[in-house]
Amino acid sequence: MMLSMILLAEAGARVPGKAAREFSEKDPTGIAMILIAMTVVFVALILLFLVFKYVARLYNIDARNRLRKSRPDIDFSDDEHIPGETLAAISLALHLYHEQMLGLENAVITFKNAAKTYSPWSSKIYGLRRTPNH
Distance of alpha carbon 32 from alpha carbon 23, whole angstroms: 9
Q: In b/e form, how buried is each residue of 29-68, taking b as 16+ CB within 10 angstroms?
A: eeeeeeeeeeeeeeeeeeeeeeeeeeeeeeeeeeeeeeee
Better pLDDT: 89 or 74? 89
Query: Does the reported pTM lie above 0.85?
Result: no
Report the chain's mean pLDDT, rounded to a whole number.
77
Task: Supply the pLDDT for residue 127.
Answer: 66
Band the pLDDT of 101: cuts 50, 70, 90.
confident
Overall average pLDDT of the 110-122 stretch: 69
Using a pLDDT cut of 90, give the percent of the chain over it.
Answer: 22
Task: Supply the pLDDT for residue 81.
Answer: 78
Better pLDDT: 23 or 50? 50
Task: Supply the pLDDT for residue 17.
Answer: 78
Task: Supply the pLDDT for residue 59.
Answer: 76
Task: Supply the pLDDT for residue 62.
Answer: 72
Task: Supply the pLDDT for residue 39.
Answer: 97
